[in-house]
Amino acid sequence: MDLPQTIAAIAVNHDVLIYALVVLIAIVEGPIVSIAGGVLLRLDLLPSFWPLYVALMAGDLTGDILWYYIGAKAGQPFIARYGRFFNITETGVKKLEAIFHSHKNLILVGSKLTTGFGFAPAVLFTAGLVRLPFRRYLVLNVLGQFVWTGGLIFIGYFFTHLYSVFNNLFARLSITAAVALIAFAVFRAAKYARDTIIRHN
């Protein structure tokens, strides 16, 4: 039995285990596992969309909640001891604090679009640090998460579909290049947005 068949067999016979694993991985690296989930859906290695979508949402939001409580409970000592490992600096947090109360809705939802590019952990941490009401924090993150998770699954599914449709090498290389360019463009846009917000406040 080859690897795809093995994955498919595990997904069918141990679906609860598979989705529990998705939740755990999504806590740490939601964007990558969301795109990978779209790929697995397209290859029919996962049985259906909704369980995957819910598992990814649960994992990513669990990570958001953890960052909130780290900010609320650990605060400045965490920044001093561990902040450098997560791109959370005292200067950056102070600048975010200065603008958080007037732009919190935009910043929290927008942080979903920069997850994985060094911006989201600092935003989520600062939300806890400034004691943003947890209910409001969670609602805003859920709203952003609906779009973000669904969009990433679609990207994985769509480009895997295109890749499987075209058999010639040039077409597949073009698709691969397009994915790389899109990822780079998103990365640059996210970095520009982060730097602009911090620079002008």
pLDDT of the residue at 116: 46
Segments making up each domain of the chain, as ranges:
3-199
Which range has highest mean pLDDT (3-7, 20-24, 175-179)?
A: 20-24
Distance, in Å, from the CA atom of 85 to the CA atom of 79, rounded to the nearest integer, reads: 9
What is the predicted pLDDT for the residue at 199? Answer: 55
pLDDT exceeds cutoff 80 at 184: no
Q: The whole model's pTM is what?
A: 0.76
CA 179 from chain centre, in angstroms, equals 17
Distance (Å, whole) CA 187 – CA 86: 17
Q: Is the pLDDT at 108 greater than 70, yes or no?
A: yes
Q: How far apart are CA 93 and CA 127, in angstroms?
A: 10
